[in-house]
Amino acid sequence: MVWRLITILFFGCLFTLIPVAGILGAVMNGYIRYYELRDCGRPVFFNPFFYDTIFHAGYGWIFLGVSFVVGIFMIFPPFFGNFFRLMYVMSILVVSLGFIPSVGLKVGEKMFYRPDTPIALTNGEIHRVDVLYKGREGIHFKDATKGYPSTFIWAIVQNGEQQRCYREVESQPKKSQPKQPQITKEEAEALGIQPPKEKKGFLEVLQQKLFGE
């Protein structure tokens, strides 16, 4: 019984992941790329986009619930098993149509585009903007004064989310150590000290070990 539940949940998540990832991939191709959206100063990547859209937005439990149902009807169907499998294949074909740029753009607008949305800032100002996408950096919206979207970062949005940008910290350049002056073999003999060892290459060391030269 336990093994069957694990099998249902595992394959259910797999079968559910394929169309969901297909839809989000189509949205990235037709919507995110169309508006040239950048989040945290760089292009939107698929992995954080998938996580933010499904799990950070609170749809994780819905995803698991749907996966469980899909797993039952795909692996251990109580009735009409072939019918449900055929419907699944048809859904994959429908999702693939989203990679047509115009279709992906329409799907993305249905999911994320919110025209004439009031945004209250922490300084008391209220702006009405056409929201394109809410990312980790803030709210990205259309800007009529620019040819690309602008952003209200979460820090200046009233009751905004916490900024979740992970920027790489620039490493400090290492201070170069002053080179020690090299002493020659003749100078060492004149001073009566041990002369520095000569640096030998790998082949020279190997030849000395093998032939004792």
Neighbours of 92 (CB within 10 A): 12
Distance CA 149, CA 36 (A): 8
Domain boundaries, the chain: 2-110, 114-156
Q: How far is CA 56 from the centre of its chain?
A: 13
Residue with the two structure tokens 């949005």 = 157
pLDDT in single tens digits along all 213 residues of the chain: 788 889 999 999 999 999 999 999 999 999 999 999 999 988 999 999 999 999 999 999 999 999 999 999 888 887 778 889 999 999 999 999 999 999 999 999 999 999 999 999 999 999 999 999 999 999 999 988 887 899 999 999 999 999 988 755 444 444 544 555 555 666 656 656 666 566 666 566 666 666 665
Contacts of 59 (CB under 8 A, 6+ apart): 53
At residue 33, the 3 state secondary structure works out as: coil
Helix (H) or strand (E) holding 210: helix 202-211
Alpha helices, H only, 53-201:
60-75, 81-96, 101-112, 185-191
Structure tokens at 113: 């585009």
